Amino acid sequence: MGRAAGQSRREEPGRAGRDPRGKLEFPLAPLALLARADEKAVEMLGIDLSGKRALVAGVADAGGFGFAIAKALAEAGARVCVASWPPAMGIFETMLKRGKFDDARRLSDGSLLEFERIYALDAAYDEMSDVPEDIRTNKRYAERGDFSIGGLARAWQSDFGDDSLDILVHSLANGPEVAKDLLDTSRKGYLAALSVSAYSLVSLVNRFGPLMRKRGSVLSLSYLASQQVIPGYGGGMSAAKAALECDTRYLSYQAGRRYDVRVNTISAGPCATRAASATGIIGEYIEHYAEHAPLQEKLTLDEVAYVAAFLSSPLANGITGTVVFVDKGFHAMGMSYG
């Protein structure tokens, strides 16, 4: 049976006795792995996000980083809301309702991950006045109310008030011409990639910063193509990720001073998500990494999500303005012999 919406895992009746130290059993899988290295230290440093509220922007199925991060945050005790792109949101809600994600939603205590709220968000727009008529009247958008970034922040404030957000995750990107070489990318396609995949973070921090509690965390997802040439990662998406990483540094300074929050980005290795499939060659990336990275194995969504949970937690209070690579070490290589 799932938890009621809004009910934190730690607040479930009868649960407290299961862990007398009040420490979270999560993360079971990484604990199991890390236990090999230093069982005791890890037990003492369990990630505890109880009492915290998170918003993960960019969840529209159970197969992406956003969902995996939402789940990891919930495992650590946070209440989690998500924001979904209107064109994908209808099917997401239907599949959720029909139980199609139940296996993926299963938490380590047997309950199901519940989202406290599911908001509509098109990160291309800061306000509804920016939305072209054909989008506004499109049937997938028409019933969604104010799906702009500004509208999302206002809806959040009306639902939860000020001082109500601890963890903001930006897990969205869109490059309509990603399959084209940069050299062949149109101005429109390039700017669309920058707008949705990079500027949206600036806009989100601008609007949600004032609603965040002190020592909150903002996190986004980047990719190595920002720094090195990755053939096939086109359409201006490489520039969008470079902007995202640069903006992470500036936002860490400005939002740090204004709101006392941290801003980081994870540079993740390739995983076969819906967005990544748009490159058309994600399978080749994954094989290439598994062959040439220092750790010769495929990266999992959970491995990225666990780092996201750590970075979002007070354990990472000393980390801001940083790009954290979670890619089995591939970024460190210049050349390998397979």
Show Cβ contacts of residue 330 under 8 Å, excluding neighbours closer than 6 positions. 224, 269, 289, 292, 293, 294
* Active-site annotation holder among 233, 285, 289, 306: 233
Q: Does 238 participate in binding ligand NAD (rule CB under 6 A)? A: no
Residues 3-42 that bind ligand NAD (CB under 6 A): none
Among 49, 219, 276, 293, binds ligand NAD (CB under 6 A): 276
Instruction: Tell me how far, at minimum, the Cβ of 231 lies from ligand NAD, in Å.
Output: 15
> Which residues have CB under 8 Å from 31's CB, separation 6+?
25, 42, 43, 46
Applying CB under 6 A, the span of 42-50, 155-163, 220-228, 315-323 interacting with ligand NAD comes to 220-228
Q: Residue 307: helix, strand or coil by DSSP?
A: helix
- Exactly one of 119, 125, 141, 223 is catalytic; name it: 223
> Residue 317: is it exposed, middle or buried by C-beta count within 10 angstroms (0-12/13-18/19+)?
exposed
Residue 223 token pair: 């990719």
Q: Would residue 259 show up in a list of annotated catalytic residues for this protein?
A: no
Q: Which H/E stretch holds residue 326?
A: strand 323-326
Looking at the Cβ atoms of 88 and 242, the one nearer to ligand NAD is: 88
How far from the centroid of its chain's Cα atoms is residue 262's Cα? 15
Q: Does 271 interact with ligand NAD (rule: CB under 6 A)?
A: yes
Contact 221, 68 (CB under 8 A): no
Cα dihedral sign for 232, 234, 239, 245?
Answer: negative
Q: Per-residue DSSP letters for 237-276?
A: HHHHHHHHHHHHHHHHHHHHHHH--EEEEEEE-----HHH
Residues 100-129 as b or e (16 or more Cβ within 10 Å = b): ebeeebebeeebbbbbbbbbbbbbbbbeee
Mask: binding to ligand NAD, 287-306, rule CB under 6 A, as x and -? --------------------
- Which of the ranges 47-55, 96-104, 117-125, 310-318 carries the binding residues for ligand NAD, by CB under 6 A? 117-125
Residue from 201, 275, 307, 316 touching ligand NAD (CB under 6 A): that is 275
Which residue, 261 or 326, is less far from ligand NAD as judged by CB? 326
What is residue 305's DSSP assignment?
H
| Piece in contact with ligand NAD (CB under 6 A), picked from 74-82, 156-164, 167-175, 305-313 | 167-175
| Count of residues near ligand NAD by CB under 6 A | 27
Q: Min. distance of Cβ 221 from ligand NAD in angstroms?
A: 3
| Catalytic status, residue 199 | no
Q: Does the protein bind ligand NAD through residue 268 (CB under 6 A)?
A: yes
Figure out which of the listed residues 27, 30, 46, 58 binds ligand NAD, where binding follows CB under 6 A: 58
Question: Does residue 221 bind ligand NAD (CB under 6 A)?
Answer: yes
C-alpha distances in angstroms, 78 versus 89, 114, 150, 185, 215?
23, 11, 24, 41, 15
User: Cα(92)–Cα(22) distance, rounded to whole angstroms?
Assistant: 34
**CB nearer ligand NAD, residue 64 or residue 151:** 64
Q: Whose Cβ is closer to ligand NAD: residue 60's or residue 80's? A: 60
Query: What positions carry a catalytic annotation?
Result: 223, 233
Q: Which residue ranges make up the site for ligand NAD (CB under 6 A)? A: 58-60, 64-66, 85, 88, 121-124, 171-174, 196, 221-223, 268, 270-271, 273-276
